[in-house]
A = this chain, B = another copy of it.
Amino acid sequence: MTQNPANQSTDKEPVEQTKPEVSTNKRGLERRKKLLEVAEKHFFSFGYAGTSVNEIVKEAGGSLNTLYRYFGNKLGLFEAVFKLKTDELFTPFAHMDFWQDDIETNLFRFGECLQRVTSTPDGIAIYRLVVTENNFEQSEIQRIFYQLGPQTGIRILGDYLQRMKDKGKLDLEDPYLAASQFIEMIKGPFLYPRLFGETIEEQQLHQALKQAIHIFLNGCLQK
């Protein structure tokens, strides 16, 4: 696919030369951090195929040798950046408690938070990367993103809807599907525009959320 002349590794043994080392102290840690920073900038701006490892090193200082010792290869560097940013983006969301008031308020709070996460420049950049790169060969990247992002959102909201259903407050056949559908109502309409470079106004997000809640609640509230 892409050029990868280093894969002469005749797959016999577990291949230890690719083991990314971890620098323990001081200078090494700074270099590592700087490399990650610059790499992030490049990957976010130009995509995986579009960034050159040489460029990163040229900009970050340090040496190719160091980069390869730390991250093994280009994909290793990418994965490191990706995991870091994905955690940064989704972890706070996953630990938030949305369910303290009435259903409408709760949906509103959840929706606003989700919209905020997916609207952030980093959120958009990560999404583009996940969808855009390494996509014709199955990679771990996708799994990580999917589990930490979309799947977590569906689980959190789905659990809540399930409870409301059990209490007889909502009339829903499949609460987890419903969760996914609600989520799509509030972020789906902006997917293409975002991918295609348009910027979304705060007010549009708000309107989508308002209308989604109106339709959704009206649609499944037990009377």
A interface list, Cβ under 8 A from B: 1-2, 45-47, 49-50, 128, 131-133, 135-136, 138, 142-143, 146, 150, 172-174, 177-178, 180-181, 183-185, 188-189, 192, 195-197, 207-208, 210-212, 214-220
Given contacts A188-B180, A189-B184, A196-B142, contact A1 B132 (CB under 8 A): no
Residues of B within 8 A of A143 (CB): 196
A47, B220: Cβ atoms closer than 8 Å: no
Between A and B, 5 residue pairs with Cβ closer than 8 Å are: A132-B133, A173-B214, A177-B208, A180-B188, A215-B219
- Which B-chain residue is minimally distant from A188 (CB atoms)? B184
Find A46's partner among B132, B136, B184, B195 (CB 8 Å cutoff). B136
Are B45 and A136 in contact, with the CB atoms below 8 A?
yes
Q: Say whether B188 contacts A50, CB under 8 Å.
A: no
Contacts of A220 in B (CB 8 A): 214-215, 218-219
- Given known A142-B196, A216-B219, contact A135–B132 (CB-CB < 8 A): yes
**A150 contacts across to B, CB distance below 8 A:** 192
6 A-B pairs with least C-beta separation = A184-B188, A219-B219, A215-B219, A184-B184, A180-B189, A218-B219
CB-CB under 8 A from A211, the residues of chain B are 172-174, 177-178, 181
